[in-house]
A and B are shown apart, each in its own frame.
Chain A
Amino acid sequence: MREVYLDYSATTPVKQEVVSEMIPYYTEAFGNPSSLYGPGLKAKEGLTQARQQVADLIGAKENEIFFTSCGTEADNWVLEGVADQLRDKGNHIITTKIEHHAIIHTCMYLQKYHGIEVTYLDVDEEGFVSPEDLEAAITDKTILVSIMMINNEIGTLEPIKELAAVAKKHGVLFHTDAVQALGNVPIDVKDLDVDFLSMSAHKIYGPKGIGALYKRKGIMLPNFVHGGAQENRKRAGTENTAGIVGFGKAAELARTGLAEHMAHSRQMRQYLWDQIQDKIEDVRLNGPADFDRRHPGNLNVSFRYIEGESIMLMLDGGGICVSTGSACSSGSLDISHVLAAINVPMTIINGTVRFTVGDFTTKEDIDYTVEVLQKVVDTLRKLSPITGKEGW
């Protein structure tokens, strides 16, 4: 059976060049990078090179990059660290209603255990945060603004430069969770003028279990993981050397191939959307209608009268991998907070599917997907007690 992977925002396959780069760090340069003999020093060299490669991808200096176990750890680190560091200045954090759970659940933790007050900004119907809303929410107690660069469900590319400028004008630190943006849009931390930026390797054809935090030079941030002197004494724990080296290689490939990656993703995504609109009735696009203002590979569609997990399962039966915003697939029966925040009608919110294309997606993959999708939607609509006659 043909297999088509259309869930690149969940994770990506690791590119062969990346794997090849990593292997020697398991077998030959396996030493502890803190050890001062051959295999240790070799491992250390790998870290140094990778740090530069990741820095280059976002226009940072290598001493501004700190490796973590994942993007979520980087998010946790910034939020909790700033809350503790600036507790005498204030106790107010501003974020949005559409952040990843790595941010939202950390904010909820800080509200419960650190006495932090959090403002969750509304977004418009395409998921955009307004700089005016941000400015209006800032008080003399505000210590941090955290707004994601690209939303993971609906692909909205937030105006980070404008938002960061608002925070700066009021002397407030600015963090952006760039896990979905990294390697998918150009990022220059100096131009964006952000203080912190979270990253992850496994969304850019690198390995899982490795992320990084960009921290602007000179900004104070208490440690989050305590212990040894790794990562310039900022993040303890023996380094995941092979993972870091893989992240570095993936970052280099992402930087040199960015234009091609973006063009290919956009072309495939557009073709997918054109085909869906052409072949399937009663669909609704969620997220920005202007495709230049969303993740280059993201397409989020609601199929009326049917339910997302059923669509996902039947597509899986055809070898096609997608994800769904349906409450019934969430494991917790909670509806997608992102789709709710952009006011997707409650009657169709459970019929939402996210497709994300990537470097290995072909036109044939899309043709096959739409062919199967058409049958799946047709089958499920015949099974459904709901039709267009009922008013929606």
Chain B
Amino acid sequence: MALYNDTVMDHFMNPHNVGEIENPSGKGIYGSPVCGDMMQVTIDVDENDVITDAKFKTFGCGSAIASSSMATDMIIGMTVEEALDVSNKKIVEELGGLPAVKIHCSVLAEHAIKNAIYDYAQKSGKTYAALEGYNPTEDSEEDDHHDIPAEE
């Protein structure tokens, strides 16, 4: 039995939406190489608040890269409100499941997208209910799955 299902492997080996949008509407980064995964998302949003394009760059394992690819696929064509509703659970569902120990990798994509939208909201002066009280850096530092000591 393979580590990942065919959908995950396909998104890992041939990821969609790789790269970086120049002068994006919003840019978000989440994670760090010390934690073992890090993702950057850039998005373009049109005047109707629809995400017209999304690109990612990810440092991470197979499921982190596959989640990044799937998540960016999912949000392209969505309104910002809809994209804010894309949870890691939905990403995992679309991927047809991840090994239990790898579920956290999909959180990376959810957070990076949220951070990109937060950046867009800041720049455009828009407000979204889902972003109320949201601090883009807080979770990054205190993520419970990233409790690896910096020194031993």
Inter-chain contacts of B57 with A (CB < 8 A): 383-385
Contact of A386 with B38 in the complex, beta carbons under 8 Å: yes
Bound-state Cα–Cα, A348 to B61, Å: 14
Give min CB distance, B64 to chain A, whole Å.
8
Bound-state Cα–Cα, A326 to B58, Å: 15
Contact of A310 with B36 in the complex, beta carbons under 8 Å: no
Contact of B33 with A313 in the complex, beta carbons under 8 Å: no
CB < 8 Å: which of A97, A310, A332, A335 contacts B60? A310
With both beta carbons as reference points, the residue of chain A lying nearest to B32 in the complex is identified as: A347
Inter-chain contacts of A331 with B (CB < 8 A): 101
With contacts A305-B59, A313-B3, A385-B59 taken as known, whether A350 is within 8 angstroms of B15 at the C-beta atoms is: no
Give min CB distance, B143 to chain A, whole Å.
11
Contact of A307 with B13 in the complex, beta carbons under 8 Å: no
Question: Does A306 belong to the interface (CB within 8 Å)?
Answer: yes
Question: Does A321 belong to the interface (CB within 8 Å)?
Answer: no
Number of interface residues of B (CB under 8 A): 31
Question: Does A219 belong to the interface (CB within 8 Å)?
Answer: no
Question: Which of the 9-residue segments B74-82, B87-95, B115-123, B144-152 touches chain A?
Answer: B144-152
Contact of A310 with B62 in the complex, beta carbons under 8 Å: yes
Inter-chain contacts of A329 with B (CB < 8 A): 61
Inter-chain contacts of B73 with A (CB < 8 A): none
- Name which of A308, A317, A328, A337 has the most chain B CB atoms within 10 A of its CB: A328
A341-375 CB mask vs B (1 if < 8 Å, else 0) is 10000111011000000000000000000000000
Inter-chain contacts of A382 with B (CB < 8 A): 18
Inter-chain contacts of B13 with A (CB < 8 A): 314, 317
Give min CB distance, B17 to chain A, whole Å.
11
Bound-state Cα–Cα, A333 to B37, Å: 11
Inter-chain contacts of B40 with A (CB < 8 A): 385
Q: Tell me which residues from 122 to 152 in chain B have a Cβ below 8 Å from any Cβ of chain A.
A: 145, 148-152
Q: Tell me which residues from 294 to 346 in chain A have a Cβ below 8 Å from any Cβ of chain B.
A: 305-310, 313-314, 317, 326-329, 331-335, 337, 340-341, 346
Contact of A333 with B145 in the complex, beta carbons under 8 Å: yes
Give min CB distance, B37 to chain A, whole Å.
7
CB < 8 Å: which of A305, A310, A317, A333 contacts B101? A333
With both beta carbons as reference points, the residue of chain A lying nearest to B99 in the complex is identified as: A331
With contacts A331-B101, A348-B33 taken as known, whether A307 is within 8 angstroms of B60 at the C-beta atoms is: yes
Contact of B39 with A307 in the complex, beta carbons under 8 Å: no
Contact of A310 with B61 in the complex, beta carbons under 8 Å: yes
Question: Does B1 belong to the interface (CB within 8 Å)?
Answer: no
Inter-chain contacts of B3 with A (CB < 8 A): 313
Give min CB distance, B12 to chain A, whole Å.
7
Inter-chain contacts of A341 with B (CB < 8 A): 152
With contacts A335-B148, A384-B57 taken as known, whether A328 is within 8 angstroms of B37 at the C-beta atoms is: yes
Inter-chain contacts of A386 with B (CB < 8 A): 33, 38, 59
Q: Tell me which residues from 1 to 43 in chain B have a Cβ below 8 Å from any Cβ of chain A.
A: 3, 12-13, 15, 18, 29, 33-34, 36-40
Question: Does B71 belong to the interface (CB within 8 Å)?
Answer: no
With both beta carbons as reference points, the residue of chain A lying nearest to B40 in the complex is identified as: A385
Inter-chain contacts of B145 with A (CB < 8 A): 333
Inter-chain contacts of A351 with B (CB < 8 A): 33
Contact of A328 with B61 in the complex, beta carbons under 8 Å: yes
Inter-chain contacts of A337 with B (CB < 8 A): 152
Contact of A347 with B33 in the complex, beta carbons under 8 Å: yes
With contacts A328-B37, A386-B38 taken as known, whether A313 is within 8 angstroms of B59 at the C-beta atoms is: no
Contact of A307 with B37 in the complex, beta carbons under 8 Å: yes
With both beta carbons as reference points, the residue of chain B lying nearest to A317 in the complex is identified as: B13
Known: A317-B13, A328-B37, A384-B59. 13 other contacts (CB 8 A): A307-B59, A308-B61, A309-B61, A328-B102, A329-B61, A333-B101, A335-B36, A347-B33, A347-B34, A383-B57, A383-B59, A385-B39, A385-B58
- B residues with CB within 8 A of A: 3, 12-13, 15, 18, 29, 33-34, 36-40, 57-62, 64-65, 101-102, 104-105, 145, 148-152
Q: List 17 A-B contacts (CB under 8 A).
A: A307-B36, A307-B37, A307-B59, A313-B3, A326-B36, A328-B37, A328-B60, A328-B61, A328-B64, A331-B101, A333-B104, A333-B148, A340-B149, A341-B152, A348-B33, A383-B18, A384-B58
